[in-house]
Structure 1
Amino acid sequence: MRVLIAAVVALTASVAMADDLDDAHRQALAGRDSYWNCLAQEYSRDRNEGMSGEQFTALIAGACASERQNLRVSLVSYLSMQHPDVDAGDHMTTANNAIASAQKDVVTAFIRHKAASK
């Protein structure tokens, strides 16, 4: 009987952990989507027409601060749950690299669009 109870407790804990991981994954995806949507809004603003690539890069680096932080926190949380044996600093580096990649993609699109419109 004790073995059965232990098995049920272990199974329940496993299901709860899977649910927590799924929730963390959904939150990380929502954070990503929110950040990308904010960057897209910055990209499409009329005030960007006369900006140089360097000016737009600086704008994007400072834009969407709360969305960026939410993405960072939710991604680090998800990665920490998914890979608890990995150093938290490595998860932070991964999150920061994802943010840098998103910024680079938006800036690259801006520069290409600007070059094509000349």
Structure 2
Amino acid sequence: LQNILYNPQRKTLSPERIVETVARYYGVPLDQIKGKARDKQVVLPRQIAMYLMREETEAPLLRIGEALGGRDHSTVLHGCEKIEREMAENDDFRRDVGALREMLYTDS
């Protein structure tokens, strides 16, 4: 855990890499993550991507929204807050997001 939290040789993540990794993890096509789909199978991974981009990059909300098909900054903020609430209430979900975060730094 400490290596993930502080590691000077840690990979630099781009918003695009995060979106691609989340899409692959959940088996959702990239065009759906970036598209207009609003069904739960697409929305949840999209919101997780928003959350991870906000936490793991220095990208502003506007840039995160652009990486996800041109979404508004308020949509990104809402998505991040929803994931934070779910992580606070659901241990399994928090572990899934943690595993996904680790994948971002270990996958080549």
> Into which bin does the TM-score normalised by the smaller protein fall?
0.3 to 0.5
CA radius of gyration, larger in = 1
TM-score of the two chains, using structure 1 as the length reference: 0.31
Structure with the bigger RCO (C-alpha within 8 Å, sep 6+) is: 1
Q: Which has the higher helix share?
A: 1
